[in-house]
Amino acid sequence: MTSFGKAAPIRAILFDKDGTLVDFQRSFGPAVHEVMQQLAGGDRAAYHRLAKASRFVEADRRFLPDSPLIAEPTGVYGALWAAVLGRPANAAFFAEIDRLLGDATTRHLTAIGDPKALLTGLAARGYRLGLLTNDAEMTARAHLSKLGLDGILEFVAGYDSGFGAKPGPGPVLAFARAVGVPVSETAVVGDSVLDLAAARAAGAIAIGVLSGPAPSAVLAPHADAQLASPAELPAWLDAR
């Protein structure tokens, strides 16, 4: 655990989902494989083009560190998929991707540690809690329901919730307003540079976790603190 310390109290915590509360590779790897097969319609060449554009290793059902699916919203990788398939990169196609991926990722959903115990404990200590993801809000809510978290979080924002997407500050600012806590007393916990950049842009405290694909060296320059996993968060809060 590495801390670079900010003295401001923390009263509200906004969590990223994939790579922070959800095991990204184990949940999205098999799910994206299935969805790309569906979109390719049995055309192996088309599937391989989709996999290449996604920086996806079929044999291992995993993503390379520079995959656009790791942190970007649907419109980014959806545009790549549309180009591969010769389909319009429009709202209808992106909605189809969100629907297919929402169903598939919920079936394969794998948590990191015990997020229900973690968040229940934090809520009991008085922290206001929310979730921010570049996934679709519909998918995020399905995942939260399966993990038993939908009754714990006070705020849920996806890329399509009307607040903008990471790395923009909009969702972080919206969370702070929703729970009535100054953004300077709000922390964002995430495993990607986009999570930490959203925190910094909003004026929140940026806490990086190494439970996702990004290595420490990538996250450290953008983080006010860096933890091995979200499970370390309560102890880190106690030690501030």
* Per-residue pLDDT reduced to its tens digit, 155-181: 999 999 999 999 999 999 999 999 999
* Per-residue pLDDT reduced to its tens digit, 88-112: 999 999 999 999 999 999 999 999 9
CA atoms of 91 and 37, how far apart (whole Å): 21
pLDDT at 5 over 50: no
pLDDT at 42 over 60: yes
CA atoms of 148 and 145, how far apart (whole Å): 5
Pairing of strands 62-63, 56-57: antiparallel
CA atoms of 220 and 171, how far apart (whole Å): 22
pLDDT at 4 over 60: no
Cα dihedral across residues 12, 132, 159, 202: positive or negative = positive
pLDDT at 3 (0 to 100): 45
CA atoms of 231 and 148, how far apart (whole Å): 17
Of the pLDDT bands very low, low, confident and very high (cuts 50, 70, 90), residue 8 is confident
Name the CATH superfamily for 2-23+111-239. Answer: HAD superfamily/HAD-like (3.40.50.1000)
Taking the domains of the chain in order of start, what are their residue ranges? 2-23+111-239, 24-107
pLDDT at 1 over 80: no
